[in-house]
């Protein structure tokens, strides 16, 4: 009865045909058949049979009558086409906004051979086909393409749908809402609602009308690169180094024997096999060849299905950046420091006599070496303090007769003292557990021959000293970004400069003091990148050349070039930064790792996050077919004429069966 009250009709004029229901009633009430009287000699035995037959005949007539009435009723209703009214009216929808999430997470399968993006495109097609021809649509994707700036016709939107592809761009809810602009139009929000990227901060007011269309995919295990780093982040040619890769399994299933590959300059360099437990991290490493030079493209890859958009990770190994070394010494004679840092492929070395220093070069230096100076004057002290305050690294090697007060001013070590006379003492073997010596020595021999030195400066006990004498007193210590040597490199007081350990120690000091660390990779959301630009001249801008060519906004600071990367304008892969014919750097860009985290919000969770008001409703459909039915029910109502036809045929069949079989 409630259904009949709520029903509406497309063709109510057919209801006049319900008057035909009177015909079976008239036939039933006026039975025009004449009865025939038969005489029997004795009717005593027939009375009871007659009564029973009359009762059965009346029951059969009532059932047949009911079947005929119901058949006619539902037949008329079928022609009148009843329906339950829609919850929302089409006549009020003149402009519609459809947001379709086309980020890479939408490549996850929702059905066999059906991606989430394919399902989303099908949902948009159903929406566009449902609404009247005069309705205008605005289709918005993560690319924020110019096409989405205005409302389009139905045919234009369907044409645009055929051009939608997966995008490396992820958008938060707030970004999309700001792009849509002023409220007032109904917004269909089609997305997988990733927890890692949705980013709800805005509470919707009542002016918005948002229709959430969640696309749910089965929970799968997705492996992706969490981070990649080098054992020694400051690359110097010839040093032993290793690449360490941290992999994350974001899912409920363990992956056994996942094969990973490392490719350098399009040549496979190494492989490894890892097992990753559910929702956990695992680390694998690869040793690097000492023969690598210049710019190197490195790709770490693996095969992980069904989610494969994050199966490759790009990074660089760039050996072309030279460390800037400045030596300040008593005179211009060649020193051991100049010899050790004389490799022009690795170092940009400049030496100055203490009386003729170009203080401007200190600002760009990665390491300043104060070598063999007995007295440090106030101007040099002030320049060194300014340099250290700007995170510059300083190596202090005392002269044979150092002025203690001036050294105290530079080093700010209250316990610093000068040793007037000391015997030559042998140095203890290095502590190979000290991070300073990591990857410095191929073999960690306990019988390593060590140099001897005569102590000139003493600063007390230092348990973290890089090198010590055998009596435990420090020989080489580090205080933040300042290194201090206890003796001169003069052959009279030390043979360190002629010992095999001298070169690796000096190289490591230089690498540790490197100011501008060159990152092996960047994410697509990176906005600023700094590259070296020693000899940049002229007005022509630097360019980024890779999958596409870009000319980013740029500013030059000293010998560095700051590039302002246009957000979401680069694709994952490699880009050379070039200026005229020179290559300044090689950059690698990757997808944001949060896009690989496939955990989803439910529609109810999103509605709650948006304020939980009536302006937000949720579609429950999980496939294109069910969504088509649900949106028609919501905007066209629920048609009932099919049910009426079925019921009419059932009651017609019931009438036939009653007449034939009920005796």
120 assigned to some structural domain: yes
Check whether residue 608 and residue 624 sit in a common domain.
yes
Same domain, 464 and 359: yes
Contact 134, 224 (CB under 8 A): no
Query: Which pLDDT score, from 0 to 100, does residue 300 have?
Result: 97
Check which CATH number belongs to the domain holding 417 and give it: 3.40.50.880
Residues 609 and 582 in one domain: no
User: Alpha helix locations (H) across 575-614?
Assistant: 603-609
Q: Which CATH number fits the domain that encloses residue 606?
A: 3.40.50.410
What is the structure's pLDDT at 91? 47
- Whether 384 and 495 map to the same domain: the answer is yes
Q: Is residue 293 one of the residues assigned to a domain?
A: yes
Q: Residue 229 maps to which CATH number?
A: 2.60.40.10
Same domain, 35 and 71: yes
Is 443 in the same domain as 352?
yes
Query: Is residue 613 assigned to a domain?
Result: yes
The last residue of a domain, from among 491, 512, 533: 512
Q: Are 398 and 505 in a shared domain?
A: yes
Write down the pLDDT at residue 311: 95
Q: Which pLDDT value is given to residue 577?
A: 94
Do 208 and 103 share a structural domain? yes
Contact between 180 and 140 under an 8 Å Cβ cutoff? The reply is: yes
Residue 517 lies in a domain: no
Dist CA 44 CA 167 (whole Å): 96
The verdict on residue 460 lying in a domain is yes
Round to the nearest angstrom and report the end-to-end CA distance of the chain.
Answer: 34
Residue 273 falls inside a structural domain: yes
The pLDDT value given to residue 228: 92
Boundary (domain end) residue, out of 490, 512, 534: 512
Whether 583 and 605 share a structural domain: no
What is the span of the domain harbouring residue 465? Answer: 323-512
pLDDT recorded at residue 35: 57
DSSP string, 387-430: HHHTT-EEEEEE-SS--HHHHHHHH--TT-EE-S---EEEBPPP
> What is the pLDDT, as a whole number, of residue 32?
52
Residues 498 and 370 in one domain: yes
Rounded Cα gap, residues 382 and 626, in angstroms: 76
Kindly state whether residues 227 and 196 are assigned to the same domain.
no
- Domain shared by 237 and 286, yes or no: yes
Q: How many domains does the chain have?
A: 5
Contact in structure between 138 and 95 (CB atoms under 8 Å): yes
> Would 399 be classed as within a structural domain?
yes
Say if 103 falls within a structural domain: yes
Q: Other CB atoms closer than 10 Å to residue 371's CB: what's the count? A: 23
The answer to whether the predicted template modeling score (pTM) of the entire model surpasses 0.75 is: no
Q: Which residues of the chain have pLDDT under 50?
A: 1-2, 91
Domain limit, last residue, from 494, 512, 530: 512
Angstrom distance (rounded) from CA 216 to CA 190: 11
By C-alpha distance, which of 368, 398, 391, 404 is closest to 480?
Answer: 391
């Amino acid at each position: 009865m409630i259904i009949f009250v709520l029903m509406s009709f497309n063709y109510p004029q057919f209801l006049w045909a319900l008057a035909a229901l009177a015909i079976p009633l008239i036939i039933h009430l006026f039975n025009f058949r004449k009865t025939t009287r038969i005489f029997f000699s004795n009717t005593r035995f027939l009375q009871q049979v007659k009564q029973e037959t009359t009762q059965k005949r009346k029951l059969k007539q009532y059932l047949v009558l009911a079947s005929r009435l119901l058949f006619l009723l539902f037949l008329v209703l079928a022609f009148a086409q009843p329906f339950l009214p829609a919850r929302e009216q089409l006549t009020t929808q003149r402009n519609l906004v459809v947001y379709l999430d086309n980020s890479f997470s939408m490549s996850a399968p929702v059905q066999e051979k059906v991606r989430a993006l394919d399902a989303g495109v099908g949902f948009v097609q159903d929406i566009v086909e449902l609404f009247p021809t005069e309705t205008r649509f605005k289709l918005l994707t993560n690319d924020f393409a110019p096409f989405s700036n205005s409302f389009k016709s139905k045919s234009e939107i369907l044409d645009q749908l055929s051009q939608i592809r997966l995008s490396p761009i992820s958008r938060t809810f707030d970004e999309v809402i700001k792009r849509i602009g002023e409220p007032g139009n109904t917004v269909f929000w089609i997305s997988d609602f990733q927890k890692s990227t949705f980013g709800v901060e805005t509470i919707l007011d009542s002016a918005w009308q948002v229709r959430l269309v969640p696309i749910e995919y089965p929970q799968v295990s997705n492996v992706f690169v969490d981070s990649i780093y080098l054992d020694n982040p400051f690359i110097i040619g010839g040093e032993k180094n290793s690449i360490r890769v941290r992999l994350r399994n974001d899912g409920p299933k363990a992956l056994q024997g996942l094969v990973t590959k490392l490719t350098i300059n399009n040549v496979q360099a190494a492989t490894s096999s890892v097992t990753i437990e559910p929702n956990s991290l695992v680390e694998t490493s690869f040793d690097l060849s000492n023969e690598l030079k210049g710019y190197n493209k490195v790709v770490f890859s693996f095969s992980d299905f069904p989610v494969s958009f994050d199966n490759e990770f790009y990074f660089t190994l760039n050996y072309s950046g030279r460390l800037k070394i400045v030596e300040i010494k008593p005179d211009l004679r060649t020193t051991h420091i100049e010899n050790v840092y004389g490799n022009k492929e690795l170092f940009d070395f400049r030496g100055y006599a203490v009386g003729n220093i170009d203080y401007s070069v200190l600002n760009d230096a990665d390491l300043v070496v104060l070598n063999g100076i007995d007295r440090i004057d106030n101007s040099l002290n002030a320049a060194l303090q300014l340099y250290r305050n700007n995170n510059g690294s300083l190596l202090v090697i005392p002269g044979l007769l150092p002025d203690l007060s001036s050294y105290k001013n530079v080093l700010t070590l209250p316990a610093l003292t000068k040793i007037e006379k000391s015997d030559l003492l042998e140095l203890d073997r290095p502590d190979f557990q000290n991070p300073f010596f990591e990857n410095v020595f191929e073999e960690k021999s306990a019988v390593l021959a060590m140099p001897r030195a005569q102590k000139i400066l003493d600063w007390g006990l230092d348990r973290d000293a890089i090198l010590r004498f055998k009596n435990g007193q420090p020989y080489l210590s580090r205080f933040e970004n300042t290194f201090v040597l206890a003796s001169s490199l003069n052959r009279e007081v030390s043979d360190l400069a002629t010992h095999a350990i001298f070169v690796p120690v000096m190289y490591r000091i230089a690498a540790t003091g490197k100011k501008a660390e060159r990152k092996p990779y960047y994410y697509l959301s990176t906005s600023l990148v700094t590259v070296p630009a020693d000899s940049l001249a002229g007005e022509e801008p630097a360019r980024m050349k890779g999958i596409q060519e870009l000319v980013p906004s740029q500013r030059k600071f000293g010998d560095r070039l700051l590039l302002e990367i246009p957000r979401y304008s680069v694709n994952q892969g490699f880009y050379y930064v070039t200026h005229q014919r020179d290559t300044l750097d090689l950059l690698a860009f990757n997808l944001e790792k949060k896009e690989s985290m496939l955990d989803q919000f439910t529609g109810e969770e999103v509605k709650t996050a948006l304020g939980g008001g009536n302006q937000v409703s949720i579609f429950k459909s999980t496939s294109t077919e069910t969504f088509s039915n649900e949106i028609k029910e919501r905007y066209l109502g629920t048609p009932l004429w099919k049910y009426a036809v079925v019921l009419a045929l059932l009651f017609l069949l019931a009438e036939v069966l009653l007449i034939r079989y009920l005796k």
